[in-house]
């Protein structure tokens, strides 16, 4: 009985992590799009929110969150596809850091956050399959 309750609590925790990660991916996407538009109209941006260091911090948060939520979910429900999709997303986000400012950075960041969000959405779906 205790193992059953523990498994339910672990699944609920993973769902909360997945929801948080999807929200974080959305914020990252908004940041990237607004930043790109802002940079198109304004020649220089020295703010902390639109600066390049925010990408390093975002990736530093995204990697452990993705590992805990996606791997924890895969262990729980037995499907590892979300881990693969999330890994490609995190890889694209890492590639964006190496690309420097410009179109490649924007494309890689957007691709990465979308893939990570999809991975977390799949993880949540598989953690709570519809009954019936």
Q: Is 14 inside any structural domain? A: yes
User: pLDDT tens-digit profile of 19-71?
Assistant: 888 887 877 777 767 766 665 555 444 554 455 677 788 888 888 888 888 88
As given in the structure block, the two tokens for residue 81 are: 């596809």
Question: Which residues, including other chains, have CB under 8 Å from residue 126's CB and lie 6 or more apart?
Answer: 73, 77, 79, 82
Q: Is 132 inside any structural domain? A: no
Q: Return the closest-CA partner of residue 69 out of 19, 14, 131, 24.
A: 14
Q: Is 37 inside any structural domain? A: yes
Label residue 113 exposed, middle or buried (CB < 10 Å: 0-12, 13-18, 19+).
buried
User: pLDDT tens-digit profile of 66-112?
Assistant: 888 888 888 888 899 999 999 999 999 999 988 877 889 888 988 99
- The total number of structural domains in the chain stands at 1
Among all chains, which residue has been given the structure tokens 């020649």?
43
Q: Is 59 inside any structural domain? A: yes
Q: Is 101 inside any structural domain? A: yes
What is the structure's pLDDT at 86? 93
Query: Which residue segment(s) compose the domain that 35 sits in?
Result: 2-127
Q: Is 108 inside any structural domain? A: yes
What is the structure's pLDDT at 22? 83
Rounded to an integer, what distance in angstroms lies between the CA atom of residue 25 and that of residue 65? 11
Q: Is 60 inside any structural domain? A: yes
Percent of the chain clearing pLDDT 90 (strictly above)? 17
């Amino acid at each position: 009985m205790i193992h059953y309750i523990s498994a339910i609590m672990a699944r609920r925790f993973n769902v909360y992590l997945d929801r948080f990660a999807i929200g974080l991916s959305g914020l990252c996407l908004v940041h990237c799009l607004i930043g790109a538009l802002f940079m198109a109209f304004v020649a220089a941006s020295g703010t902390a929110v639109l600066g390049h260091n925010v990408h390093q911090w975002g990736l530093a948060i995204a990697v452990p969150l993705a590992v805990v939520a996606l791997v924890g979910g895969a262990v729980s429900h037995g499907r590892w596809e979300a881990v693969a999709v999330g890994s490609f997303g995190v890889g694209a986000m890492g590639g964006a850091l190496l690309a420097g400012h410009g179109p490649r950075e924007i494309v890689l960041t957007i691709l990465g956050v979308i893939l990570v969000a999809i991975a977390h959405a799949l993880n949540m779906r598989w953690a709570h399959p519809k009954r019936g």
